[in-house]
Amino acid sequence: MPRAVYVLALGIFAMVTSEFVVAGLMPQMADGLNATVPEIGYLITAFAVAMALGGPFLTVAVVRLRPKPALMALFAIFLVGNVLAATAADYATMLVARVVTGVASQAFFGTSLSLCARLVRPEVRGRASAVALNGLMLGTLLGLPLSTVVGEHFGWRAAFWGITALTVVAALCTLVGVPHLDHAVVDGTGGGVRRELAVFRRPGLWLALSTSTFIIGATFSAFSYLNPILTEVTGFATGTVPLLLVAYGAATVVGNTVVGRLADRYTLGVLLCGLALNLLFLVGFALLAHLAVPAVVCMLGIGLVGVTMNPAMITRVQREGNAGPLVNTIHTSFITSGIIVGTSLGGPAIDAFGLRAPLWLGAGLAVIGLLTLVPALARRPVRHAVEHIGVNRPTIGQEWAKKTWAGDRQKASNASRR
């Protein structure tokens, strides 16, 4: 795997850490900004909405740049927003800062995933996406707890300054470790905004985007409310929940790695199995949330097959559309929309039906996600999809053998003429 892919993962890690930092510092930020805890919660929503709605527009603005300058420009915008957050004197300034960083991070995700696709062979794009998205998984697993600890010991502003320093390191690594690429058209990518927009006429692309929304919506309807479910329904002590969430994060890292290995060869099969298993774990969790062991097993199962579908989701979207930055950014906007749907509907569901309701909501979204796969499966059964995406294409070893055989045959022919 090219070194540049790991460098991109570092940038994603920095931005995901910034995305989730508010969740761990709500009381401190409320005191520092003379706001209420619910108002601080709206900063999370503002970040997500800015990602979903603003990211594609910023991507259009930088799409004419070569990939590396585009990434550096997005780093600069993100740094401005993060410094503004660290120095915010009031709630309004912090709100502006969160919108700026949300828009920049979304455009960065799309541009990074597009660059990943250009850095590797088409048959390993899913694996490359998984490596880059380890920044997302590790941001959830390590970034959030670390920033929370820093904020608790040194103040919430110190957490934002720490993220600023991490972003500077990621930008310098990108400057050194990411190669300069031009605007060459690769697999339908590149060629300006008009070419990027043309692929959105394809119905299959919209189906693929909607599948991603429902996969993430199903997962986050449960993840967003794990803390109260585990404490008030399952009966775990408050101090135990952080350890369980770390275990959940570790499960996402493992699942992301496994899905990355399979996504290129079995894209539809992975999505079908992942959604079916997620549905099973969500229903099991809803039915058995009062029992500690089954609840933990189902929670870890959701971690393994939920957000970890990202490499397969990305692979499918890139094949239905292209691997360009605009397609990838709009895809991440659909993913963010899933987060918004899962979290925003979960709260009213709890008020109406109790703490298990988000789990049943997630199960319903998973069912809809499965239904969005039906047209693709009907048009291209799994076994044909496997053939279509390259299982029967010659590998590098086969290409080498073919060239060697052809060379030997040519030599033999020349020798016979002599």
What are the pLDDT digits (tens) for 167-217?
Answer: 999 999 999 998 887 755 445 455 566 777 888 999 999 999 999 999 999
Residue 381: pLDDT band with limits 50, 70, 90: low
The answer on pLDDT for 37 being more than 80 is: no
Does 241 share its domain with 332? Answer: yes
Chain CA centroid to CA 236, Å: 29
Cα distance from N-terminal residue to C-terminal residue, the chain: 46
Residue 383, C-beta contacts closer than 8 angstroms, at least 6 positions apart: none
Q: What is the pLDDT of residue 139?
A: 80
Q: What is the pLDDT of residue 225?
A: 87
113 located within any domain: yes
Does 377 share its domain with 233? Answer: yes
Does 286 share its domain with 326? Answer: yes
State which of 124, 152, 182 marks the end of a domain.
182
Does 177 share its domain with 95? Answer: yes
C-alpha 125/C-alpha 323 separation (Å) is 10
Cα dihedral 37, 38, 43, 45, rounded to 10, equals 150
Of the candidates 387, 109, 138, 134, the residue with the CA atom closest to the CA atom of residue 264: 387
CATH number, residue 224: 1.20.1250.20
Does 121 share its domain with 153? Answer: yes
Q: What is the pLDDT of residue 408?
A: 44
382 located within any domain: yes
Average pLDDT over residues 233-246: 87
C-alpha 123/C-alpha 134 separation (Å) is 19
411 located within any domain: no
Between residues 392 and 15, the one the model is more confident about: 15
Average pLDDT over residues 32-45: 84
Does 44 share its domain with 137? Answer: yes
How much of the chain exceeds pLDDT 90, in percent?
46
This prediction's pTM: 0.79
401 located within any domain: no
* Domain, as residue range, for 150: 1-182
Q: What is the pLDDT of residue 1?
A: 80
Q: What is the pLDDT of residue 152?
A: 75
DSSP code of residue 380: S
Does 172 share its domain with 203? Answer: no
Does 340 share its domain with 220? Answer: yes
Tokens of 331: 């895809």
Residue whose pair of structure tokens reads 């008020």 in the numeric block = 351
19 located within any domain: yes
Between residues 365 and 51, the one the model is more confident about: 365
Does 18 share its domain with 162? Answer: yes
95 located within any domain: yes
415 located within any domain: no
State which of 141, 163, 182 marks the end of a domain.
182
Does 293 share its domain with 344? Answer: yes
Domain count of the fold of the chain: 2
The answer on pLDDT for 361 being more than 50 is: yes
Q: What is the pLDDT of residue 316?
A: 94
Average pLDDT over residues 16-43: 83
The answer on pLDDT for 410 being more than 60 is: no
Does 141 share its domain with 207? Answer: no
403 located within any domain: no
C-alpha 243/C-alpha 249 separation (Å) is 10
Average pLDDT over residues 405-409: 45
Length of the chain in residues, anyone? 418
State which of 182, 208, 242 marks the end of a domain.
182
C-alpha 89/C-alpha 71 separation (Å) is 29
> Which residue type occupies 22?
V
C-alpha 170/C-alpha 211 separation (Å) is 31
How much of the chain exceeds pLDDT 70, in percent?
87
Does 195 share its domain with 126? Answer: no
Collapsing DSSP to helix, strand or coil, 363 comes out as helix
Radius of gyration of the chain measured on its C-alpha atoms:
23
Average pLDDT over residues 30-37: 87
